[in-house]
Chain A
Amino acid sequence: MTNRNKKKQPPSGYRAPRAAAPSRQQAAPQRQGIFGSLFSPRSAADTDMPKMRTSIGRGFITAAGTPGIVVAIAVVVFLEWLAAVLVGFQGPFAVFVNALAIPPVGTSFDFQIAQGMFGVQGGLIAVLGFVAIRGVIVALFTGAIVDVLQTGSATRWSLVRGMRAIPTAIATSVASMGLVTVAIFIGPVLGLGLGALLQVGALVVGIYLFVFAPTIAVAEGRGMPESMSRSIRAGRMPGAGNLGFAVLYVIPTIALLVAPGKPGSDIGVNPTIGAWVFVLAINLLQISMLAAFSFRYLSVAGEVPEPAPRRARPARTG
């Protein structure tokens, strides 16, 4: 073994993808704005997007390996549960497995909790506040995650950095809420099967299109419209497998939510130790997935096609 090999780090042989690699191929000109990103043709370039298992593994290591994030998960879930109990919510505690879920999965949780606390009509108003709170939480966690991914650690400045993404994260939550709301209202018209499919589809599409936006806002300091537009373009990069990754996140999350017999399934305001461990562990996985999405974006940030410059209007003559 050579000295060069001895120095090699890390010993596992893990090699992460390059950050901000230059674009392999310039994409076709994109239309302007959020909807421009949605409806413009996808670029033909393939991508260095990490594999799914690499993304999940790196996301988990990022979340679990950062004590500040682990502690924050427990504190945030505890405070959310305490607040819910004080307002009159009686459980089941198990629904809090989605307390830190990524919008719009988390937005569905907000709907459920808001209606559990305030009834159907009151819940529709309360959910607006919940969505805003979720936006703040997602932004702050994203700030910490991006710093850990880029520098190896998170500091209090990570939170300051995350605060820059609050408008973007709230906008993402609101857009997600819109998607979920449309699905809720249209779903019943389509019948039980198609309606359920539409609602799951809304969750998948919401993740697929908007999940990168907070990361973009934190890592690149972009504004809200630009971050969301860029998130859509990043999500739609061909060969990236983002749709599959979104499905991989959404389906198990729903399955877990409806699975019977999980700890904390009973009505009650004093969760057991087992229920706490279970709910905190699932929320760790939720933040791990948020980190996984951040990791995926940061790995291909340089490949995301920029929108074409807006064409100047021809000067009027006469």
Chain B
Amino acid sequence: MLPAAAAPAVSWSGFQGDPAHSGYASDGPPPPYVEAWTSLAELGGTSGQFGLSQPVVVGDTVVALGTRSVVAVDLATGESRWTVGRDPGPAVPPAAYAGTGTDAIVYTEGFGPHPPGSRVSASASASASASATASASPSTSGDTDAGPVDSHLVAIDMETQGSLWKPTELDAVSYTGVTAADGVAYVGTEAGSVYAVDLETGTTAWTVDAGGSVDTPLVVVAGLVVATTRATNDAPASVVALAAADGSETWRWKGDTPVFRLSAASADDTHVYVGYSDQNGTMRALDLKTGALAWTARMNAAVNLVSAPVATGDAVYALDFRGQLYRFDPATGSRTWDFAMNELVLRSGPVAVGDHVVFGTTGGRLAAVEASSGDVVWQTEAGQGQLRSIAVTPDRLVAVRGGVQAGLVAYDTDPSGAIVRVPSPTVFNPAGFFGSFAIGALVFFAVVILGGRWLLRRAGPALATEAAEGEDAGVDDLDAPADEDDA
């Protein structure tokens, strides 16, 4: 066994940085930013479209999952440190943890019986969700990355990339990624199971049925494991809190409006926050101890489901899929400000970096919003491929870029860059508001009234009066009975 590490090296340990998914780093580089490096990832295959997972940062190494490999790059240069193969599986967030004497990465593998690009027979569909072993053998064909692969949990040593223990089998595909806290890895599966696995031995400490498919990262906070479940025929989409010690259900909040899915959750010391994809999108805060609904805040669109709100303790930030960032008061849910970027954000969430909130868009733009004012203070132009899943270190931001040139991209503070100040288009601007209307209305009046009066003179009266009928008698008849042409 290796000697214990001198100091914790894990600085961004998993989805949104920590087991509570706070998405908050008090110590991080402020804007303006400049691109430090880009590291391309050769993803390939049908599954290459999924890009890399949320990166984690361990010491000076950035680690992310592709669908068929685990890639590690140097935080300073972006050069590849190592790449190891993995059984094909969803590129979902891994977790980094400091094990006994070594830093390690724990992640899930396996697409189950339906790898991307497969065509599954009816008989395979019937047995799709049941088996946790590789014996599930549906017929697949076509351009596939791989055949069926059972789902399991794997841990590797950061130094040697060797397995730390025998893979732990899961009962179905896992899209939650792994949340590691206090020596335990927590994983959810499509079958609705939540697993707690000892990170020292790989043994399953407990498994419970959450009551619906679990497909967003699990929150671990204050002795609770919080999962969001999809709606089923029998139960609405729910938030369920399990005791981290034994998996017993502590509370369950059932959605009050029918929705199929909830967003990933995050938490602070008092509340669990979750996005609700009802008609216009809402943010819900649940009491951490009881699960009671504390407040509901309206948004203009739903939070994208793979991101979670950011909880810094004195603020909650949420990003909807139309690119509108909101700051809410964590106690009351009242909206402090919002910024409408008006650009699609389909897979990304924000991160809070010191006094700024940073997020990427599907169009490839990176923007920094001042936490106190809600003004954008720095942004890039839209680029090639979506920008998402930002990891924060004290000196550098590392984000995932999708699209043709998929990979990782790092940003540093740019000492020579300029800070701008762009207020949100949702802030009432009297000059713009009234000025635009005045000019627009003048244009409208000029064109319509002049044109309309001219047309009216040409057309004459609408309804023929008795006096006019005699004079109209010889006029060309444009008004044949309706049934001649209305059909």
Contacts and interface: CB of A to CB of B under 8 A. Distances in A.
A295 B461 CA distance: 11
B381 interface: no
A65 B453 contact: yes
Nearest to B475: A15
Given A13-B478, A14-B459, A266 B342 contact: yes
Contacts of A148: 462
Nearest to B485: A51
Interface stretch (B8-16, B20-28, B423-431): B423-431
B439 A13 contact: no
B425 to A, nearest CB: 3
Contact of B340 (A17, A70, A90): A90
Interface stretch (B43-51, B77-85, B93-101, B276-284): B276-284
Nearest to A62: B462
A5 B472 CA distance: 10
A192 B397 CA distance: 43
A47 B479 CA distance: 11
Interface stretch (B56-64, B147-155, B261-269, B442-450): B442-450
A65 B452 contact: yes
B441 to A, nearest CB: 5
Given A15-B479, A90-B340, A8 B455 contact: no
A61 interface: yes
Nearest to A245: B486
Contacts of A12: 458-460
Nearest to A276: B440
Contacts of B427: 269
A116 B469 CA distance: 52
A54 B465 CA distance: 18
Contacts of B280: 115-116, 119-120
Interface residues of B, number: 63
Given A5-B474, A19-B464, A277-B443, A241 B479 contact: no
B279 A240 contact: no
Residue among B439, B462, B463 with the highest chain A CB neighbour number at 10 A: B462
B445 A74 contact: yes
Interface in A263-318: 266-277, 280-281, 284, 295, 298-299
Contacts of B440: 271, 273-277, 280
Interface string B467-487: 011011011111111111111
Nearest to A270: B432
B451 interface: yes
Interface of A: 4-5, 7-19, 46-52, 54, 57-58, 60-67, 70-71, 74, 78, 85, 90-91, 115-116, 119-120, 148-150, 152, 238-241, 244-245, 266-277, 280-281, 284, 295, 298-299
B328 to A, nearest CB: 14
A8 B475 contact: yes
Given A54-B478, A91-B300, A152-B462, 18 more contacts: A4-B474, A10-B457, A14-B460, A15-B479, A19-B464, A48-B481, A49-B483, A51-B484, A64-B449, A67-B445, A70-B449, A74-B445, A267-B322, A268-B340, A269-B427, A270-B436, A276-B439, A281-B444
A7 to B, nearest CB: 7
Contacts of A74: 441, 444-445
Contacts of B459: 10, 12, 14, 57-58, 61, 65
Nearest to B432: A270
Nearest to A10: B460
Contacts of A71: 445
A281 B469 CA distance: 34
Interface in B309-340: 322, 324, 338, 340
Contacts of A63: 452
B141 interface: no
B464 A17 contact: yes
21 contacts: A8-B472, A8-B474, A9-B468, A14-B460, A14-B475, A15-B478, A16-B460, A49-B481, A51-B482, A61-B456, A67-B452, A78-B437, A119-B280, A120-B257, A152-B462, A240-B483, A244-B486, A270-B429, A273-B436, A280-B440, A298-B462
A268 B456 CA distance: 37
Nearest to B341: A267
Interface of B: 257, 278-280, 282, 296, 298, 300, 322, 324, 338, 340, 342, 424-429, 432-433, 436-437, 439-441, 443-445, 448-449, 451-453, 455-465, 468-469, 471-472, 474-487
Of B280, B282, B324, B441, most buried by chain A (CB within 10 Å of CB) is B441
A232 to B, nearest CB: 18
Given A8-B475, A116-B280, A268-B342, A241 B482 contact: yes
A239 B436 contact: no
A243 to B, nearest CB: 10
Contacts of A48: 479, 481-482
Nearest to B338: A90
A52 B338 CA distance: 47
Contacts of B456: 61-62, 64-66
A303 to B, nearest CB: 11
Given A8-B471, A10-B458, A47-B483, A17 B476 contact: no
Contacts of A78: 437, 441
A64 B300 CA distance: 35
B481 A90 contact: no
Nearest to B465: A19
Contacts of B296: 119
B118 to A, nearest CB: 26
Contact of B476 (A13, A47, A116, A241): A13
A274 B425 CA distance: 16
B486 A241 contact: yes
A304 B443 CA distance: 41
A62 B458 CA distance: 12
Determine which residue in A13, A65, A85, A149 has the highest number of CB atoms from chain B within 10 A of its CB, and name it. A65
B434 to A, nearest CB: 9
Contacts of A267: 300, 322, 324, 340, 342, 425-426
Contacts of B479: 15-17, 48, 50-51, 54
Contact of B455 (A61, A150, A275, A281): A61
Contact of A120 (B278, B445, B449, B464): B278
A116 B301 CA distance: 10
B428 A85 contact: yes
A44 to B, nearest CB: 12
A7 B485 CA distance: 31
B249 to A, nearest CB: 29
A65 B340 CA distance: 39
Contacts of A60: 452, 455
